[in-house]
Structure 1
Amino acid sequence: MQEMTRALEALNTYFGYDSFRPGQEQAVNTILAGQDLLAVMPTGAGKSVCFQVPALTLPGITLVISPLISLMQDQVRELLAAGIPAAYFNRSLSAGQYRTALVRMRQGQYRIVYAAPERLTAPAFLDICRELEISLIAVDEAHCVSQWGQDFRPSYLKIREFIDSLPKRPPVAAFTATATTPVRKQIISLLGLQNPAQVVTGFDRPNLTWQVRRESDRKSALAHIIRQRQDQSGIVYCATRKTVEEVAEHLQKLGLSARPYHAGMSEEKRRQTQDDFIYDRIPVIVATNAFGMGINKPDVRYVVHYQMPGSMEAYYQEAGRAGRDGDPAQCILLYSPQDLRLQTFMIENGEPNPELSAEEAALVQKRDMDRLFQMRAYAQSTSCLRSQILRYFGEDPKEDCGKCSNCLADYEDRDVTAVAMALFAGIIRTGSRFGQKRVIEVLRGADTEFIRSRNLKDNPAYGKLREHTAKSLEELTGQLCENGYLQITGDYPVLSLTRKAIRTISSHSPVVVKTATSTQRYTVLAESDDLFEALRQTRRELASGHRIPAYAVFNDATLHAMAAKKPCTKSDMLRVQGVGDVKFRKYGNAFLRTIQKWNRENGQEEEAED
């Protein structure tokens, strides 16, 4: 109880909050009790607080194992701004910086130390860890330990060996945002967690609006999206480096401030681009998934996927970088059926993982294909997008969100019996042994090597739907899958009929699917008021003066609270969520002056600061 009181005091003093968010208190209690923990919390739920607050309460140091340089740098920058001694160890440090940090670590100057998993085997670092009192090991992005996850990192398999080598085993807390049930089990096993408490807060992000747009001209659609939000930070994800370069160049030619980011760029150029984005010098990043996991910028107002990603896990994690401050944000997928072919090619031709046997690699590829088809089902669906995401991660939403693009669209029932029956017949007459692409080639009467080598021109289904485009048949196939008539099964994606389709054929029943009848209506974020903009300008000036990102001063949610409550005294300001004693001493008076000036100019009553 006493430790929890100290934890709440640290939460208020350093982070400016009076209480924990859902799941945080249980996670902190577990750690303070010395028990292992597995926490599955969505991006924006405040995972870092769950180990940073105990680190300020427990003796010794807390070691945080993290996979990305950007995440370490951002979080250490914020901790230092809040008055918490912290450091990171990764390859971005020069030899001299590394040695200095080791000396300071040995002297006990840090409360929180971040380290890349590769550092755990470095002899000098390992020796110091064996000397010092480590009160907690936190493993961030813990799904990276699972070879069945979408971000497997072989270096994560060394973590358990490191923990076992310590003279005294500290409690271990693993954190992730996107672990399905099988991945959770593997995290526990591979990290050697001992009877861990499990905290799963749910995957719902109520502040996010989910949209899928089917656009014939994606570049024009993207430019329109960005123009509507020119003063807001946004991320545009593309599937390949080439597309990143093309899209960024197109936006720049239109006069829009956007910068490319991908693994083919030099490390220095990537670092500069990331810093410019974090410090609000550029509003838009166009990137592959090389820009992502752990990016600690809470005021991203929109994330656009220019192309469909390869899995729901990847999509949820990348889209979830929007609105981490809790304010409204939008997640938009610009979908085209050709995205499936691109992602299939990338799965089939990706570099093999040398850590896996041939059998394991084949199983991983099959699971990747399964995930891809689940992602496509989401992109082609007509049901609530939020509900689909929650069901994918094992939840049971009781109602639709009412604000995603599917919920806001107008639909009508469309009779597709004739085309659907021809499609069913094509699947049956080709032996239910081909995937969607091959079945459609047969039905459209294609003249390809695949068709010729299997004598499919003689098949009774050949050319039966030649008047239809491949795109329209792909979309119909997706709708028939969603409505339970077709399914994709087998080691390789094979299209087959369900019992529902067989009953429909035998009873000569009509086949009806939902189709959008009007332009979908999208939620538009409200304009910020004058006071909020004045507070943003104050924050911008302070951040520039201190050479830190704007969000490290206060995030947008805190500025919105200031704009709503208009505090004019220190005591009033300290009641605003996100303003603690440490940050008030550094920045509080500047914001008080801004609010007082706004009150005078707008005829509002105010109390003078004592």
Structure 2
Amino acid sequence: MDSTAPAPAPTAVGPASGEGSEDALGILSRVFGYDAFRGQQAAIIDRLASGGDAVVLMPTGGGKSLCYQIPALLRPGTGIVISPLIALMADQVAALEAVGIRAAFLNSTLEPYEAQMVEQRFLAGELDLLYMAPERLVLPRTIQLLQRAPLSLIAIDEAHCVSQWGHDFRPDYLGLAMLPEAFPGVPRVALTATATRATHEELTQRLRLEGAEHFVASFDRPNIQYRIEPKASPREQLLRLITAEHEGESGIVYCLSRKSVETTAQWLADRGIPALPYHAGLDAAVRRDHQERFLRAEGLIMVATIAFGMGIDKPDVRFVAHLDMPKSIEGYYQETGRAGRDGQPSTAWMAYGLGDVVSQRRFIDQSEGTEEFKASARAHLDAMLALCETITCRRVQLLRYFGQDGEPCGNCDTCLHPPQTWDGTVAAQKALSAVIRLDRERGQRFGAGHIVEVLLGKESERSRQGRHQELSVWGIGTEHSDREWRPVLRQLVARGCLEAVGDYGVLVLGPAAGPVLRGEETVQLAVDRAPSGRSRRGAAGGGGGSKPRAADSLSGEDARAFEALRAWRTSVAQEKGIPPYMVFSDATLVGIVQARPTSTGALAGVSGLGAKKLADYGDQVLEVLAGLD
């Protein structure tokens, strides 16, 4: 079941419109067009529908939204959905309206008369769901408004934002602790796709959900192939990824700085790759336009800082690429989770280098947070480093970070192409000794580049001025090349044997250096992975070209029918001013092709096609199929 794809229903649904007898499964079928719930969805819905509170940890694409949408339709009153990004509320509401759910939003993008109309609809009981940001909800005027009409439930989306030690803290979320007093008896549900055990505990406490039932699904996203490779020429590496594996497909590219975002977007555009920039420094109207174009277009790439992406509902993002290392595994997991929401094979790719570590350390050291906050940030970064340098299954390490077990997946780079390892104990001791001698005998600290020069005995102005040729470590590492030494230093940083500190990333001994220097611990190092110049799509189970992954199994007349339906979908979406996936998902189009219905009754049996969409589009779909004969 693809619960990320919108599907139909009559103009009004649930008890709010006088239909109190229908159960959850009936709404799932009639409104959303699916025959069965996935995982814990049914249990969560039952908990909320019966008036209980819940905390839900479920991966992106796992169907979290259904967990509060259906109880809101089952219970009398309006469901309130708290969402952190107002830029996406209009699309979320449009997707609900497309399936016949009466929805609206209250935020600063509305004119005063528009907001008043929404409030009147709410007070008249004409809304099933009402979206708003946390800063609006906590206003006294909003609380008074919501207290004047029955509420079916309150859903707190992206609930990890309440965690002060998390990767995406939003101070406005702290005000939501007042909800049980302001709205006694109204069931609450906190939902997130990104939470460690510590964040889980913190959000439960801060949102005062101690009595809630907890539902924790596996964070595994088996359709995503995780790949991390060393930086060489990162933009060229990115271009190979796009042209070899994702040509004509939608993707997101994350960069660390605004300047890098703009130059990378332009660089791709100059090479014929449709790409747009997105960062907080752009004019609000430009950001809104770029976001809307990305959601509505097919095959467009968004190059962005982390300011872009939370809550993005576009199901057919086929790849997420990082040209710079994220600051935490939570951030990495959330950003990569924007790929493949439709369950089809997708790629999470990253180019990573020691310079990324230096940049992130500098951000932490220069931040205005407390020492406790900086220590937490460094711990997050260390975990991210370990993921980048692991020689075991990346998926297992990701799941372990979130407190879950997993087996080697066979669908990440370290599983598909296990890295070669070698006994790097002596090399590690030599590198650590070079750092010690430069510091203790010359009182000098250097970055990786000069450490390598000392190990190789390569003279430079710096070495001559510092008389480094006189050190006992001068030239002791000539058995390895410059290119071989750099990944050694990078891996020693990841292991905690070295630390990159200061504005220039000078290397100093880390806490794990002692046992290695004393010969008490051996060091297994990976042979550096060369940047891949070939497609790995075959290993991920996908095909080639620009055909959507959902249609990879189609050929001949079925492929022709799919493309005809896709063209029809695009024209309808343009006419209505909505993204194509709000008409039908690719998976639903494939279902239609495979069913080859000749009547609306047969069409109604396709997964993801409910009552309202059948009424809106059924005859048109049948006409498209008939025209192919």
Same fold (TM over 0.5): yes
Match of 2:417 among 405, 409, 417: 409
| 1:490-528 Cα distance to aligned partner (Å, 9 max, x none) | 9x996233787367x269x79664555895761243144
Change (3 A) 1:33 1:444: farther
Q: Report how far residue 141 of structure 1 moved.
A: 0.2
Match of 1:126 among 119, 139, 143: 143
- Any residues of structure 2 matched to 1:309-388 within 5 Å, and which? 309-350=326-367, 352=368, 361-388=370-397
Partners of 1:237 and 1:307 within 8 A in 2: yes
Q: Distance in 2 between matches of 1:274 and 1:124?
A: 31
| 1:57-100 Cα distance to aligned partner (Å, 9 max, x none) | 10011111110113322211101111111111112212222222
> What does residue 393 of structure 1 align with?
402
| 1:8-28 Cα distance to aligned partner (Å, 9 max, x none) | 111111111111111211211
SS in 2 for 1:22: coil
> What does residue 205 of structure 1 align with?
221
Change (3 A) 1:563 1:384: farther
Q: Distance in 2 between matches of 1:134 and 1:261?
A: 36
Q: Distance in 2 between matches of 1:564 and 1:327?
A: 17
Q: Report how far residue 421 of structure 1 moved.
A: 2.6
* Greater Cα shift, 176-185 or 437-446: 437-446
- TM score, norm. by length of structure 2: 0.84
- TM score, norm. by length of structure 1: 0.86
Q: Which amino acid aligns with 1:290?
A: A
Change (3 A) 1:312 1:94: same
| 1:255-294 Cα distance to aligned partner (Å, 9 max, x none) | 2211101100111111111111111166111111111110
Q: Distance in 2 between matches of 1:510 and 1:118?
A: 51
Match of 2:176 among 159, 181, 198: 159
SS in 2 for 1:185: helix
Q: Which amino acid aligns with 1:220?
A: E
| 1:556-591 Cα distance to aligned partner (Å, 9 max, x none) | 222222233333332332222101111111112222
Structure 2: 5+ residue runs without aligned partners? 1-18, 502-506, 552-558
Structure 1: 5+ residue runs without aligned partners? 353-357, 601-610
SS in 2 for 1:104: helix
> What does residue 522 of structure 1 align with?
536
SS in 1 for 2:60: coil
> What does residue 475 of structure 1 align with?
487
SS in 2 for 1:548: coil
> What does residue 233 of structure 2 align with?
217
Partners of 1:444 and 1:466 within 8 A in 2: no
Q: Distance in 1 between matches of 2:362 and 2:430?
A: 28
Q: Distance in 2 between matches of 1:471 and 1:97?
A: 62
Change (3 A) 1:149 1:96: same
Paired residues, number:
582
- Any residues of structure 2 matched to 1:253-268 within 5 Å, and which? 253-268=270-285
Q: Distance in 1 between matches of 2:275 and 2:344?
A: 23
Partners of 2:143 and 2:182 within 8 A in 1: no
* Greater Cα shift, 510-519 or 410-419: 510-519
Partners of 1:32 and 1:58 within 8 A in 2: yes
> What does residue 49 of structure 2 align with?
32
Partners of 1:485 and 1:500 within 8 A in 2: no
SS in 1 for 2:145: helix
Match of 1:547 among 577, 586, 590: 577
> What does residue 622 of structure 2 align with?
592
Matched, 1:501 2:501: no
Q: Distance in 2 between matches of 1:156 and 1:218?
A: 37
Q: Distance in 2 between matches of 1:159 and 1:451?
A: 59
Change (3 A) 1:153 1:469: farther
Change (3 A) 1:175 1:457: farther
Change (3 A) 1:348 1:488: closer
Matched, 1:172 2:202: no
| 1:176-228 Cα distance to aligned partner (Å, 9 max, x none) | 00100011111111111141111111111111111113241112222233334
SS in 1 for 2:248: coil
> What does residue 227 of structure 1 align with?
243
Change (3 A) 1:124 1:114: same
Change (3 A) 1:469 1:163: farther
Q: Report how far residue 474 of structure 1 moved.
A: 4.6
Q: Distance in 1 between matches of 2:273 and 2:483?
A: 31
> What does residue 355 of structure 1 align with?
none
* Greater Cα shift, 408-417 or 439-448: 439-448
SS in 2 for 1:88: strand
SS in 1 for 2:302: strand
> What does residue 564 of structure 2 align with?
534
Q: Which amino acid aligns with 1:522?
A: R
Change (3 A) 1:553 1:521: closer
Q: Distance in 1 between matches of 2:602 and 2:67?
A: 27
Matched, 1:74 2:91: yes
| 1:324-365 Cα distance to aligned partner (Å, 9 max, x none) | 011111111122221112222222334x3xxxxx6xx22122
Q: Distance in 2 between matches of 1:193 and 1:163?
A: 9
| 1:397-417 Cα distance to aligned partner (Å, 9 max, x none) | 12x111222222254343545
Change (3 A) 1:571 1:477: farther
Query: What root-mean-square deviation, in Å, do the aligned CA atoms of Structure 1 and Structure 2 show?
Result: 3.5
SS in 2 for 1:131: coil
Of structures 1 and 2, the one with the larger relative CO (CA 8 A, separation 6+) is: 2
SS in 2 for 1:221: helix
